[in-house]
Structure 1
Amino acid sequence: MMLSESGTNPVPATPFPATPFPAGTVPFAPATAARGSSFASAVAACRAIEAMLPVIVPALRDRSVSGTGFLCIVVMDPGLQPGDCSFDEAVLLEHAIGDRREWDADYAGFARAKAALSWRLGHDGHAVQSSRAHRLREGDSLLWGGVCLEGITVGVSGAQPWWDEAFATCIAAHLRASAKAAHADARQAGALVAPAAGQNG
């Protein structure tokens, strides 16, 4: 095992998937990858983030949004639920914006905590913090900025929470669209059952 850029998250030594990822992206390939989502792969998640970067990166320079230029994005495998595996095993990928060595806070830790909460409860972080405080357990994050869009969970940290939420929603919606497109392609090709996880980039 290797360490991610943050030095805390395990990343398998075997590259996954073969498609190169942009700088700042840490793909995860746990043993659970073989039974994750058939149509929402790490490659598709990476493409969703890449599609949003032209909007996100300039926005981070706006002090009403962030002003730091730093952000961390964590995408969960929508094919894996809390009863299937641990949180770490369900992380699909993590993407950092800005040099981690210059971060003034643990944005990766915050993003993972937000993702963990939304993943476990199946609700956007704001909904939990504003009206579902009774669902919170010891150690849960009291921050919001994570979303769960029809089972697609994305946690973001680095901007104001409403912008973290907006960026997370855009990424989740893009990944959902990619999954729908991959599903349509599979049906067009005559498939009657979902393929193995990771085969649809």
Structure 2
Amino acid sequence: MDMQRSSDSALIDQDTARAAVELARPVLEASTRDPRINQGGFLHVVVMDPARTPLDAGFEEAILYECSLGGRREDWDADYAGFARAKARLSWQHGRDSFHLQTAEPWRLRPGDTTLWGSVWLDGIVVAASGGEAEFDEAFAGMVALLMRALARQAQRGRPHAPHHG
């Protein structure tokens, strides 16, 4: 599954998010085959639009890109997309990594919020992953977020015009 939407950001769009996931893909796919990291064999990644915040957008419309790795979705043993979205929502709403919210600021959680972690907030870039052990979901989300930031910095340094928003 590969879902995408338009972006409000001048430097990060669906192509940027997809490129970041593609750069990380060898590691992400390898993790789905390592039972120490991921017993189910599946991984779902959600990327939020860094230019859309809870002040000016709903959660669904702020999802920029999401994709699944590691096999057919009908073979999933859990709702990894739902888990990743719930983690992304926490980080997007609060401007914090989900681990931080769950461990250092649990009083900020609302009834019904996920108690899972595995999403990051990096300079306004929110990425969540679900399917592996929580610490690895967080690492994979962080990897994609760092790659997105690098791609955005690269585009800013050398781009002749704004990226296409299709």
- Give the TM interval when normalised to the shorter protein: over 0.9
Of structures 1 and 2, the larger Rg is shown by 1
1:199 partnered with 2:164: yes
What does residue 26 of structure 1 align with?
A: 3
Instruction: After TM superposition, list the pairs within 5 Å mapping 1:1-201 onto structure 2.
Output: 24-29=1-6, 33=7, 36-97=8-69, 98-186=71-159, 189=160, 195=162, 198-199=163-164
Tell me the CA shift for residue 200 of structure 1.
Answer: 7.4
Aligned residue pairs total: 165
* CA distance in structure 2 between the aligned counterparts of 1:88 and 1:184, rounded to whole angstroms: 31
Q: CA contact under 8 A between 1:125 and 1:146: conserved in structure 2?
A: yes
* CA distance in structure 2 between the aligned counterparts of 1:67 and 1:110, rounded to whole angstroms: 16
Structure 1 gaps of 5+ residues are: 1-23
* CA distance in structure 2 between the aligned counterparts of 1:168 and 1:130, rounded to whole angstroms: 18
Tell me the CA shift for residue 63 of structure 1.
Answer: 1.2
Higher helix share goes to which structure? Answer: 2
Instruction: Could you list the structure 1 runs, at least 4 aligned residues long, displaced by more than 3 angstroms after superposition.
Output: none
Q: TM-score normalised to the size of structure 1?
A: 0.78
* CA distance in structure 2 between the aligned counterparts of 1:108 and 1:57, rounded to whole angstroms: 16
Q: TM-score normalised to the size of structure 2?
A: 0.94
Structure 2 gaps of 5+ residues are: none
State the AA in 1 paired with 2:104. Answer: S
Q: CA contact under 8 A between 1:72 and 1:157: conserved in structure 2?
A: yes
| Percent of residue pairs identical | 42
